[in-house]
Amino acid sequence: MKFKYLVITLFLIAQSCSVSSKIGVRNTGAQTQKVQEKIQAYLLSKHVNGSIAVVKKNKVIFNEGIGLANRATGRVNRPSTTFPIGSVTKVIVAACILQLQEKGKLSTEDSISTFIPNFPNGSRIKLIHLLNHTSGIEENLFLHGKSKDMLKGISVKFPAGKKWDYNDINYFVLGLVVEKASGESLHNYIQKNILDKASMHHSGFITKNRPVPFNSKGYIKTGDYALPVNILNWSKLFGCGDIYSTALDLCLFDEALLSGKLLSKRSLQEMLTPGSPSKYGEGVYIYGNQVFSRGVVGGWETLHVFFKDHTIMAILLNVRDKNINIHQLSSDIKNIIH
C-alpha cells in the first residue's frame, strides 16, 4: 500500500504543478542565494568533485560544478561539464519500452522470442522480467556484442520471475528490443523520443566512433591519491550505460517524466510499481518518499532522484571515493533546501 500511495502522490504532484516548456532560470532571491551558499559549502567540506543540480517545481535551486574535471590540465567542473551516467541509462531505455507499448508496437507482457527468435528460454521470459531484473538470464553475451553469435553467450540461471538479480544484460537485450520494435537504432530512437522531447541538449551517446564525447576525466580515490581510469570498452554498455549527460539535463529528464512529456500517467505508474522484493520498478528504485537510479562506471558515479514534494536532484561525480556516500549527499542537500 505504501508504494501505491507514493505512485498516486507523484501523479497528483505532476498534475497539479504548472509545467512550462522549460525549467525556469535560477531564482536569485536572498533566501535562495543563502541556500546555494550552504550547498556549496557543504560540497566543499565533503571534497566532492563533480556537478550537482537541484530543481523544485520547475525552478533551478542549484546548478554548479565543483572540483576538477581534469586534474592533469586543471580544468574545473562546471554546470556544462558532461559525465558518463552509467546505469542511469536504464531508466531512459525503460521509458523507450513504455513509449513503444503506448504506440502499440509491443507489450511488456510479450516474450523475448517475439523479437529475438531462438533466445534461450525466450518464450518464457517476458519484457517485464527484463525491466525489473527477474529474467534469470546470465551475463555472458558481452564477448560477442551485438553480433549474430550473441545467443551463444547466454545461459539461464533460474526460471523467469522467481527472484531478483540485477544484471546489465537485461537492458542490453531491451536495447535490441527497442530497435526491433521501432525499426531504427536505439540511439536514434532515444535522441528523437527522449533527449529532444526533454530538451536534453547537452546529452548524447558514447560510441565506437566517439568513445570519449564527454569532457570530464574519471578517477578512483586510493588513499590520498586520485588515480585516472582508462577508457572502458563502451560497446559492452549498449542499452545499459552508453549515455553521457549533464546534471541539469538529468533533472530535465525527470521533469519531463513526471510532467507527462515522455509517458502517460498509466505508463509512469507501471514504471513506479516495484516488480520484486528489491523495491525495483522499471529502471528505478522506489524507496520511501523517493525514486532514484544510480550509475557507476569507471571513475564516475551518478545519481538522479526525485522526491514526492517534486524536488528533483542529479549528482554527477568524476571521482569515486569510498568515503563519499552519494545517497547521503542527496539526503543532506535535501535537508539544506528545507
Yes or no: say if 275 and 134 are a contact pair by the CB < 8 Å rule.
yes
CA–CA separation, 289 and 7 (whole Å):
10
pLDDT at 21 over 60: no
Average pLDDT of 308-319? Answer: 96
Signed CA dihedral, 179, 181, 183, 184: sign only: negative
The Cα 215–Cα 76 span in angstroms is 10
Cα–Cα distance for residue pair 200/95, rounded to 1 Å? 15
How is residue 8 written as a grid cell? 498516486
Q: pLDDT confidence of 112, banded at 50, 70, 90?
A: very high
Average pLDDT, the chain: 89
Which run of H or of E encompasses 79? none
- 93-109 pLDDT, tens digit per residue, is 999 999 999 999 999 99
What pLDDT, on a 0 to 100 scale, did the predictor assign at position 4?
Answer: 45
pLDDT of residue 34: 92
Is residue 35 within 8 Å of 61, Cβ to Cβ? yes
220 three-class SS: strand
Q: Are 246 and 203 in contact (CB under 8 A)?
A: yes
The pLDDT tens digits of the residues spanning 180-208 come to 999 999 999 999 999 999 999 999 999 98
User: What number of other Cβ atoms are within 10 A of residue 44's Cβ?
Assistant: 11
Using pLDDT thresholds of 50, 70 and 90, give the confidence band for residue 150. Answer: low
Residue 184: the pLDDT is 98
- Is the model's pLDDT at 147 over the cut of 70? no
> What pLDDT digit, counting tens, does each position of 227-236 carry?
999 766 777 8
Rg of the chain's alpha carbons, rounded to an integer? Answer: 20
> Is the entire prediction scored with pTM above 0.85?
yes
Q: How far is CA 258 from the centre of its chain?
A: 14
Nearest CA to 164 out of 306, 34, 282, 68 is that of 282
Integer Cα distance of 113 and 7 in angstroms = 31
